[in-house]
Structure 1
Amino acid sequence: MNAGRSPAPVPRPAGVVELIGAGYAYEDGPAVLSDVDFAVPEGRSLALLGRNGSGKTTLLRLLSGGLRPVSGRLRLDGADVSYDRAGLTRLRTTVQLVVQDPDDQLFAASVGQDVSFGPMNLGLPEAEVRERVAESLAALDITALEDRPTHLLSYGQRKRAAIAGAVAMRPRVLILDEPTAGLDPHGQERLLEVLDRLRSSGTTVVMATHDVDLALRWADRAAVLAPGGPRTGPVAELLDDDALLDAARLRRPWGIAVGRVLRERGLLADGEPGPRTPEELAAWAPAAREG
């Protein structure tokens, strides 16, 4: 008997959703991803970085159940995902993917109808569906567009309507594929404000992008897709690794370059975070002179 001996601790999953040894190849094509270990930790803003063709979209679709790994497995809260109806429903009520082009996601006649589709498909009572629609439209700041035909929306409005449809599922993890692509600077800022609100409310947000400056200013963690597989860590640490960026064929972020210059000139202490945007540099300069 093992009286008095504590039971062995149960290992905690590395993330809400995680791929273990996962590989994927499209029909009649080479492997896009091979033996990938990748976890999405809860409560983070995670930027997935890689050049075009690096496998970002494939990785996102594997995480959300849109694709099934040809090798390895997908786990949700530490348990393997089954690709039957019950297993996929459980996954998609936890993880929601918003694709890059909103026209590939919007299909209903009006914004409200489109946003209500997911909750209705779960078989929820009508009152709860209405509550979720109202909540999601408010979160994306598009309540006034509820009855607007989707084909009359601007591109930025279509982006937010597509995200609202995902948010209506109340996922713990919201995955966005190049969400700022095609938006003008004002549209990008409005979208980032929405994502910050969602993150503050407890939603884990994953954003795939090749924009290193956006990743540096927005995310607290990053995953860089390089030939040897994804490298994860604090965003500023990864984006200050020249060898990694060269391997991934990504350029240096503006904020990292400026920080290096300031440190070389003794204007910024080692380990002190530097300005990440021109606006932060403009605000930092007077304070630095006064200091």
Structure 2
Amino acid sequence: MSKSVLVALRGVSFAYEDGPPVFTGLDFEVREGRALALLGRNGSGKTTLMRLLSGGLRPRGGELLLSGRAVRHDRKGLTTLRTTVQLVVQDPDDQLFAASVEQDVSFGPLNLGLPDAEVRARVAEALEALDIAALADRPTHLLSYGQRKRTAIAGAVAMRPRVLILDEPTAGLDPDGQERLLATLDGLRAAGTTVVMATHDVDLALRWADDAALLTPSGAHTGPAEETLSRRDLLAASGLRLPWGVAAGLFLRARGPAADDTAPAPRTPEELVALLGQQPPQL
């Protein structure tokens, strides 16, 4: 196994009790330093896959590997896994439970038995990274939805994981909230955290991710984001549409020989405007 693979599933099978198989012989890996978007239709197994990667579910067959070594699903093995891989669920209200932001974010480090000074340092670092330091003493029930999202992510960041897995982190946020969260994730990536994001938004995946993984009935298909999200067969099997940026790139290349076939497709309307050599209108 390549040293760059941090966490992987090998030949994994899983089914919920009295339910049909969700995965059979699944191979999946998360590579260090690569932003990975996980996409698929509802019921395709995205949440199950994330819980398998983070140790919340145990495979019925196959194995979970951490840095090339099989993870034992006992207390010691799962503690080691969860100091490396952290999952943040879609609804922050399923994750927040303490009276204040600071108390909630400190919960994980305290459970590791760290000294008080180390816990305080980790909490301060996480609050700063998520731009919510000013909310440290705020009761969690008085937070806005976006603030609750950031607090839930801060609780995971305080564990200093190498892999941060986020389930639909931009869902329910307005455009400004989405942009602020994406900027925060870029900061975490720059600091060395590998980020996996489950999303239904193909445009966001194309714009944000290095790699994309599409869950289809035939299994998981992973590759460079632009290449993978241009595969209409895989998108159809995943219940997804062609990303706006890919369609725009196809249109530009169809304009004739003057179009630069080697230029990357525009990922956003702003990139398209820049490519056409024009300035966006000022509001």
Q: TM-score, normalised by structure 2?
A: 0.96
Query: Are 2:63 and 1:77 aligned?
Result: no
* Distance in 2 separating the partners of 1:148 and 1:22: 42
* Distance in 1 separating the partners of 2:153 and 2:142: 17
| 1:284 alignment counterpart | 275
1:252 to 224, 242, 263: 242
2:44 to 54, 71, 75: 54
1:193 to 183, 190, 200: 183
Secondary structure in 1 matching 2:277? helix
1:67 to 57, 75, 85: 57
- The one-character-per-residue Cα deviations of 1:104-159 (angstroms, maximum 9, x if unpaired) are 00000000000000000000000000000000000000000000000000000000
Amino acid aligned to 2:164? L
| Aligned-pair Cα RMSD in Å | 1.2
* Distance in 2 separating the partners of 1:127 and 1:249: 49
| 1:37 alignment counterpart | 27
Are the aligned partners of 2:101 and 2:139 in contact in 1 as well (CA < 8 Å)?
A: yes
Secondary structure in 2 matching 1:286? coil
1:91 to 81, 93, 109: 81
Query: Are 2:226 and 1:236 aligned?
Result: yes
- The one-character-per-residue Cα deviations of 1:56-84 (angstroms, maximum 9, x if unpaired) are 00000000000001111100011000011
| 1:104 alignment counterpart | 94
Query: Are 2:193 and 1:210 aligned?
Result: no
Greater mean alpha carbon deviation, residues 268-277 or residues 185-194: 268-277
- Unaligned stretches of 5+ in structure 2? none
Give 1:271 shift. Answer: 2.9
Amino acid aligned to 2:252? L
* Distance in 2 separating the partners of 1:229 and 1:132: 38
The structure with the largest alpha-carbon Rg is 1
Sequence identity, in percent? 71
- The one-character-per-residue Cα deviations of 1:244-275 (angstroms, maximum 9, x if unpaired) are 11111110000000000000003532232021
Secondary structure in 2 matching 1:132? helix
- Unaligned stretches of 5+ in structure 1? 1-10
Secondary structure in 1 matching 2:226? helix
* Distance in 1 separating the partners of 2:242 and 2:276: 22
